[in-house]
Amino acid sequence: MSLHYLNTAELHSALTEGRLSSRQLTTACLNRIEMLNPSLNAFISVNADQALLQADRVDEKRRRGERVGVLGGLPLALKDNICQKLVPATCGSRMLQNFRPPYNAHVTERIEAEDGVIVGRLNMDEFAMGSSTETSFAGPSLNPWNRQRTAGGSSGGAAVAVASGMVPLALGSDTGGSIRQPASFCGVVGMKPTYGLVSRYGLIAYASSLDQIGPFSRDAFGAGLLLQAIGGHDSRDSTSIPVSAPSIEEIMAGVPGKLRVGIVDEHFGEGLQPEVGDCVRQAIAELEAAGATVSKVELPHSKFSIAAYYLIACSEASSNLARYDGIHYGHRADQFSDMTDLYCQSRGEAFGPEVKRRIMLGTYALSAGYYDAYYLKALKVRRRIREDFDRAFQSVDIIAGPVAPTPAFPLGEKLDDPLTMYLCDIYTISANLAGIPGISVPCGFTSDHLPVGLQFLAPELQDSRLLQAAKLFQQRTKWHEQHPELS
């Protein structure tokens, strides 16, 4: 087995026991990035010198017998909307092509404190608006299982980097499925934690009430390890919950017991590709064989989730992106006639079509005479969706189902039809609206050998339950050990 496809537990153990140094592993990752990134486009930028310095510091701490953080020298990469001091954070957009944040995000601080080694910045849909990484100014990331297919989005670069063995861990952000969907398409584990469990301080905002930073890994151990490192209260984020993230020991030692699994009929209805449905049903049958009980639950308002989501997310995007005016920071037009023209030219030149579309949708929904009819009504529907989950979780521990209705689709297939692109997130969006945690776990392949993901959803702050369910599934299956053949 190649070093690049060892699971996170094996790599962590090798580092802890001194059989592998952080510099050796980081160098191997940097060499693989150099070899594969030109054809897969997972990274927007790589900082090899700084990464090796970080790795050397971890190795020196270990030699001196000092405490080494929970990440123990593991290399990882950040989605390009997570701030890293004085390192360009483009958000996949020409608007921020030359922006260098003057501070670190909370999660960046936590990674450094817990001895993670940050090797670079990952490709993404522009301002996290997209489901295929095709709206990035850097071009799309390509799926390592089939380079004619999308990697998913908006955290497509993170999923590709982990799936191709460039790094064992990565951080993405999930506003409506942007971690779970690319994880499913690329055959890795991707987790959206409970809203507020991981601070959003230093995350460049898309929709502030929906955005959540979360981990990518090849296994449940890696996702839990990274969640422990980045989770916990941060006073700089007013939505941060004053609780600690679950420890990796708690997650790995925990046994789900007689797990009660809920399934929703609507998740297996019209629009679900048969092969995807078969993989997910077989995965649920595997849980039954492990002793889980399976029963049906109802989420009657989930059919309104797409409409509610795009009203809320676009409205918040309209507000958040108003700061990019060509004056304070970001792209500024070279030629303009007056102040209004400066705004128009700067934003018109730097924002792509999808970002413009969502800003206009949000501005319309918030405009006088339409606020009550659209935005306020969407907030009421959001509350109903949360109440549906609260009722469902009274009788089950987790809800299981597909992550996306199809496997990775061909590049360019949905670019001209935004509504079909939006429907890629039909099974993931409701978790963001409700603020609950969700995870995608590899559960099979289609006849075209494209990965399929199984989604688990759990009640608020039951993130450890999700990871334990993922661990249970991975103990009984080998899908997470499959990897693309790359030269």
HEC string of the chain equals CCHHHCCHHHHHHHHHCCCCCHHHHHHHHHHHHHHHHHHHCCEEEECHHHHHHHHHHHHHHHHHCCCCCCCCCCEEEEECCECECCECCCCCCHHHCCCCCCCCCHHHHHHHHCCCEEEEEECCCHHHCCCCCCCCCCCCCECCCCCCEECCCCCHHHHHHHHCCCCCEEEEECCCCCCHHHHHHHCCEEEECCCCCCCCCCECCCCCCCCCEEEEECCHHHHHHHHHHHCCCCCCCCCCCCCCCCCHHHHHHCCCCCCEEEECHHHHCCCCCHHHHHHHHHHHHHHHHCCCEEEECCCCCHHHHHHHHHHHHHHHHHHHHHHCCCCCCCCCCCCCCCHHHHHHHHHHHHCCHHHHHHHHHHHHHHCCCCCHHHHHHHHHHHHHHHHHHHHHCCCCCEEEEECCCCCCCECCCCCCCHHHHHHHHCCCHHHHHHCCCEEEEEEEECCCCCEEEEEEECCCCCHHHHHHHHHHHHHHCCHHHCCCCCC
Check if the beta carbon of residue 197 is closer than 8 Å to that of residue 245.
Answer: yes
**Which of 95, 97, 85 has its CA nearest to residue 44?**
97
Q: Domain locations in the chain? A: 3-257+463-481
List, in sequence order, every residue forming a beta bridge with 82; answer none if it has no partner: 203
Contact 77, 118 (CB under 8 A): yes
The whole-angstrom separation of Cα 100 and Cα 86 is 5
Single pTM value for the model: 0.97
Separation between Cα atoms, residue 52 and residue 58, nearest integer Å: 10
Contact 136, 154 (CB under 8 A): no
Strands 189-192 and 213-217: antiparallel
- Encoding tokens for residue 41? 């486009």
Size of the chain, expressed as the number of residues it contains: 487
- Tens of pLDDT along the chain (487 residues) come to 478 889 999 999 999 999 999 999 999 999 999 999 999 999 999 999 999 999 999 999 999 999 999 999 999 999 999 999 999 999 999 999 999 999 999 999 999 999 999 999 999 999 999 999 999 999 999 999 999 999 999 999 999 999 999 999 999 999 999 999 999 999 999 999 999 999 999 999 999 999 999 999 999 999 999 999 999 999 999 999 999 999 999 888 876 678 999 999 999 988 999 999 999 999 999 999 999 999 999 999 999 999 999 999 999 999 999 999 999 889 999 999 999 999 999 999 999 999 999 999 999 999 988 998 999 999 999 999 999 999 999 999 999 999 999 999 999 999 888 888 998 999 999 999 999 999 999 999 999 999 999 999 999 999 999 999 999 999 999 999 999 999 7
Catalytic status, residue 199: no
Q: Which of 21, 154, 199, 217 is catalytic?
A: 154
Locate 312 and state its tokens: 């809320």
Alpha carbon of 376 to those of 80, 166, 373: distances in Å?
Answer: 32, 44, 7
Residues 297/395, Cβ–Cβ less than 8 Å = yes
Residue from 79, 192, 414, 471 carrying the catalytic annotation: 79
Question: Token pair 């209260």 is at which residue?
Answer: 233
Distances (CA, A) of 118 to 45, 87, 90, 435: 11, 11, 17, 28
The active-site residue, picked from 21, 22, 173, 178, is 178
Q: Which fold has domain 3-257+463-481?
A: Amidase signature (AS) enzymes (3.90.1300)
79 assigned to active site: yes
The radius of gyration of the chain from alpha carbons, rounded to an integer in Å, stands at 21
Give every CB contact of residue 207 below 8 A, 6+ residues apart in sequence: 175, 312, 313, 314, 316, 317, 320
Instruction: Retrieve residue 148's tokens.
Output: 């004619």
